[in-house]
Amino acid sequence: MEIQGWLRFTDRRDRGAFPVYDAAGLEVARIKTSRAGTRFNATDSNGALLCAGTAAWLGLSGVWRTSGPSGQPLLAVRKSPLRARAVAALERGSDVVMRGSVWKRDFQVTDASGAVILTALPSAASLSLQPHEFVIEQPEHILSLAEVVALVATWRLMRKSDNAATAGAAAIAVITAGG
């Protein structure tokens, strides 16, 4: 399936999954995540498996492996110790870099030459209950739907994990300082 223009990744479950819509408002994919946030699987609009991803070492290693519909490797993402950067090795032979900000929710994906091939912008207000809702722009058909879904789903789960860890560390610091 070709993707040009934009997609909207929602951050609100509908029938147990996070829907992905195209520019016309048609559902093109559904992403189901595990409770722990260390696995996901995505189906296309017909319910067929599009891709599935798993975090290595329960997410502690910063490595995610994603497979396509028949179980073949699709891409592997390695998160940088700097929480706003990751490198994704596409199985078809090229690497892309995912870069965001510690303070902002948007991110970009660049190819080996540094050209932006995908931009993700938050579609919800900064104080929203759905902070990981994105509008994805891909100016040219470079990434397949499965690759886009895998990259965005992985980025969201990595950032949600980072945010939870940061909130937990802050809570411990407050408790420790108060006692």
Within 10 Å of residue 113's Cβ, how many Cβ atoms?
6
| CA distance linking residue 156 with residue 33, whole number of Å | 11
> What pLDDT is recorded for position 6?
86
> What pLDDT is recorded for position 121?
83
> What pLDDT is recorded for position 164?
47
> What pLDDT is recorded for position 169?
45
DSSP assignment of 35-82: TTSSEEEEEETTS-EEEEEEEGGGGTS-EEEEE-TTS-EEEEEEE-SS
One digit per residue, the tens of pLDDT, for the chain of length 179 reads 444 568 998 888 899 999 999 989 999 999 999 988 789 999 999 999 999 999 876 656 678 999 999 999 999 999 887 668 899 999 999 999 999 876 677 889 999 999 999 988 876 555 444 456 778 888 887 899 999 999 999 988 887 665 544 444 444 555 666 65
Number of domains in the chain: 1
- Structural domain including 99 reads 5-178
What's the CATH number where 48 sits? Answer: 2.40.160.200
> What pLDDT is recorded for position 49?
97
Q: Nearest CA to 59 among 151, 157, 147?
A: 157
